[in-house]
A = this chain, B = another copy of it.
Amino acid sequence: MEIYMKIRIGIFGYGNLGRGVESAIGQNPDMELVAVFTRRDPESLKIATAGAVVARADEVEKYKDDIDVMIICGGSATDLPVQTPALARHFTVVDSFDTHARIPEHFANVDKAAKEGGHVAMISVGWDPGMFSLNRLISGAILPDGEDYTFWGKGVSQGHSDAIRRVDGVLDGKQYTIPVQSALDAVRAGQAPTLTTRQKHIRECFVVAAEGADREKIEREIVTMPNYFADYDTTVHFITKEEFERDHAGIPHGGFVIRSGRTGLDGEHSHVIEYSLKLDSNPEFTASVIVAYARAAARLRREGAVGCKTVFDVPPAYLSPLSHEEIIAKLL
């Protein structure tokens, strides 16, 4: 039997996701947080874990022998394309890179760096990309004659909330993406509908306007905004700062991956596979997925694996703290 040492984790970047990773590590007794790395002044950062170090991001290489897995908690737009390849030269790493269109390019860059450094680098871990991807892959392999549907929400879209806040006269704003119930119902009934963007999701905005601002103009500007809102049915609610803080402080999210397909010599039988998430906190759930894959990354590395990996490449057993005997007996 293997003797397990605790898996020593580093967190690179301490925003919502980094704090989520910290609290997830606290739920996993086989892991310990060794250090948090920040671009801010380390003195200014208060973390929740007694005994863990707060260190400067540019001193991270000094810790290469003290950390088994570095969890990189930067943003996908500009941080991760630089940070993940750079850190993969020195550490086994996990990131949550989520710009779907650029994943092949990110994979190639990270794979090269990880192989040169002799490390495992797990990218695009979370729920989409992540758990939703896994379900698209597995369900598609099971039901090759079928259709895939992904719905998001009800949940907060950070990008769309940012877009609202850039509108003139808006003090604060939050946007919820909501799947259209009738579309969900049709998909679940195995009707395999063809759905336009507008038929799949609606967008609901809560806006705090500046005093004296032209609300009609704000609303018009939001609902006609190209790329963000123009292709959707969008509703805008004006609320007070107090209501905003009371009712819209959280970062809930979730969604549905549904595959409907047919089997039988004449395709005479229909089947529906559905995976859904209902999340109070998007960053904490994403962090929880990442931490489970950090365990897998540590195991893959221990076995001698190198290079870039995704959720598609990990034997699920590696995610669990239980032994193979236990999972066979208890979970199979």
| Contact yes or no, A137 B312, CB < 8 A | no
Q: Say yes or no: is A177 at the interface (Cβ < 8 Å to chain B).
A: no
Q: Say yes or no: is A103 at the interface (Cβ < 8 Å to chain B).
A: yes
User: A33 CB to closest chain B CB, in angstroms?
Assistant: 13
| 19 pairs of residues in contact across A and B, judged by CB atoms under 8 Å | A20-B263, A137-B316, A141-B295, A141-B321, A142-B292, A188-B278, A190-B278, A263-B280, A263-B284, A264-B281, A264-B284, A269-B281, A271-B281, A273-B276, A310-B332, A312-B317, A312-B324, A312-B328, A313-B315
| Contact yes or no, A317 B270, CB < 8 A | no
B-side contacts of A103, CB under 8 Å: 328-329, 332
User: A84 CB to closest chain B CB, in angstroms?
Assistant: 15
| Contact yes or no, B327 A137, CB < 8 A | yes
C-alpha gap A48/B265 in the complex (Å): 8
User: A142 CB to closest chain B CB, in angstroms?
Assistant: 5
User: A260 CB to closest chain B CB, in angstroms?
Assistant: 9
Residue on B with the closest CB to A19? B265
Stretch of A23-31, A67-75, A191-199 with 4 or more beta carbons under 8 angstroms from chain B: A23-31
B-side contacts of A100, CB under 8 Å: 332
User: A307 CB to closest chain B CB, in angstroms?
Assistant: 11
Residue on B with the closest CB to A26? B265
- What 0/1 pattern do residues 196 to 215 of A give for CB contact below 8 A with B? 00000000000000000000
B-side contacts of A170, CB under 8 Å: none
- Which among B104, B314, B320 is the interface contact of A140 at CB below 8 angstroms? B320
Q: Say yes or no: is A134 at the interface (Cβ < 8 Å to chain B).
A: yes
B-side contacts of A321, CB under 8 Å: 141, 144
Given A23-B263, A272-B278, do A310 and B328 touch, yes or no (CB 8 Å)? yes
Starting from the known contacts A135-B275, A274-B276, 15 additional A-B residue pairs (CB-CB under 8 Å) come to A20-B263, A23-B264, A48-B265, A103-B328, A107-B328, A141-B321, A142-B289, A144-B321, A190-B278, A263-B284, A274-B277, A310-B332, A312-B327, A313-B317, A314-B315
| Contact yes or no, B263 A270, CB < 8 A | no
Interface size on A, residues (CB 8 A): 69
| Contact yes or no, B272 A277, CB < 8 A | yes
C-alpha gap A311/B320 in the complex (Å): 14
| Contact yes or no, A144 B104, CB < 8 A | no
B-side contacts of A135, CB under 8 Å: 275
Given A289-B142, A319-B141, do A133 and B274 touch, yes or no (CB 8 Å)? no
Q: Say yes or no: is A325 at the interface (Cβ < 8 Å to chain B).
A: yes
| Contact yes or no, A263 B332, CB < 8 A | no
| Contact yes or no, A329 B271, CB < 8 A | no
Q: Say yes or no: is A124 at the interface (Cβ < 8 Å to chain B).
A: yes
C-alpha gap A87/B18 in the complex (Å): 50
B-side contacts of A141, CB under 8 Å: 292, 295, 319-321
